[in-house]
Structure 1
Amino acid sequence: MLNMIDFPEPTHISVNGVDLEVFEAGRENKGNPIVLCHGWPEHAFAWHSQMPVLAAAGYHVIVPNQRGYGNSSRPDDVTAYDIEHLSGDLVALLDHFGYDDATFVGHDWGAMVVWGLALLHPNRVNKIINLSLPYQERGEQPWIEFLEQIFGGDHYFVHFNRQPGVADAILDENTSRFLRNLYRKNEPLKEPEPGMVMINLAKAEAPLGGPVMSDSELAIFVSSFEKTGFTASINWYRNLDRNWHLLADADPIIRQPALMIYGARDLIPPSARLATFVPNVDVITLDCGHWIQQEKPEETNKAILGWLGRQNAS
Structure 2
Amino acid sequence: MDRLTTLRRGRLVFDVRDDGPNDGEPVVLLHGFPQDSRCWGKVAPLLHQVGLRTLALDQRGYSPGARPPGRGAYRLSWVAADVVALLDAAGLSRAHLVGHDWGGAVTWAVAADAPERVASATVLSTPHPRAFARALPRSDQPLRSWYILFEQLPALPELLLRAGLERGLRDRGLPAADAARYARRMREPGALTGALNWYRAIPCYATALPGRVRVPVTYVFGEHDFALSRAAAEGSAALVDGDYRFIALDAGHWLPETRPDEVTRAVADRVRSARGDLHHGHPDGLRDN
TM bucket, shorter chain: 0.7 to 0.9
Q: Is the 8 A contact 1:82 1:243 kept in 2?
A: yes
Match of 2:236 among 270, 274, 280: 274
Alignment match, 2:257: 294
Secondary structure at the aligned position of 1:74 is classed as coil
Match of 2:76 among 77, 83, 86: 83
| 1:285 partner amino acid | A
Residues 1:118 and 2:111 are matched in the alignment: yes
Residues 1:56 and 2:16 are matched in the alignment: no
Match of 1:238 among 167, 181, 200: 200
Q: Give 1:272 shift.
A: 3.1
Secondary structure at the aligned position of 1:29 is classed as coil
Q: Give 1:50 shift.
A: 1.1
In 2, distance between residues paired with 1:173 and 1:140?
Answer: 31
Q: Give 1:242 shift.
A: 1.4
| 1:133 partner amino acid | T
Deviations along 1:99-148, one digit per CA (max 9) or x if unpaired, are 1111100111110111111222222112100011111217999x99x79x
Match of 1:43 among 26, 36, 39: 36
Deviations along 1:265-298, one digit per CA (max 9) or x if unpaired, are 1131233332221132111111111111211111
Mind listing any 5+ residue stretches in structure 1 that lack a counterpart?
1-8, 185-211
Q: Say which structure, 1 or 2, has more relative contact order (CA 8 Å, 6+ apart).
A: 2
Alignment match, 1:158: 149
TM-score, normalized by length of structure 2? Answer: 0.83
Q: Is the 8 A contact 1:65 1:72 kept in 2?
A: no
Seen in structure 2, the aligned counterparts of structure 1 residues 139 and 10 have a Cα distance that, compared at 3 Å, is closer
Q: Is the 8 A contact 1:21 1:64 kept in 2?
A: yes
Mind listing any 5+ residue stretches in structure 2 that lack a counterpart?
278-289
Q: In the comparison of the two structures, how many residue pairs are matched?
A: 269
Seen in structure 2, the aligned counterparts of structure 1 residues 290 and 138 have a Cα distance that, compared at 3 Å, is closer
Seen in structure 2, the aligned counterparts of structure 1 residues 125 and 222 have a Cα distance that, compared at 3 Å, is same
Q: Is the 8 A contact 2:13 2:63 kept in 1?
A: no
Structure number with bigger Rg: 1
Alignment match, 1:207: none
Q: Give 1:213 shift.
A: 2.5
Alignment match, 1:19: 13
In 2, distance between residues paired with 1:277 and 1:88?
Answer: 21
% identical equivalent positions: 27
Give the ranges of 4+ consecutive aligned residues of structure 1 lying more than 6 Å apart after TM superposition: 138-141
In 2, distance between residues paired with 1:178 and 1:262?
Answer: 21
| 2:204 partner amino acid | R
In 1, distance between residues paired with 2:271 and 2:129?
Answer: 23
Match of 1:181 among 171, 176, 179: 171
TM-score, normalized by length of structure 1? Answer: 0.77
Seen in structure 2, the aligned counterparts of structure 1 residues 240 and 310 have a Cα distance that, compared at 3 Å, is same
Aligned pairs for 1:135-146 (under 5 A) are 135-137=128-130
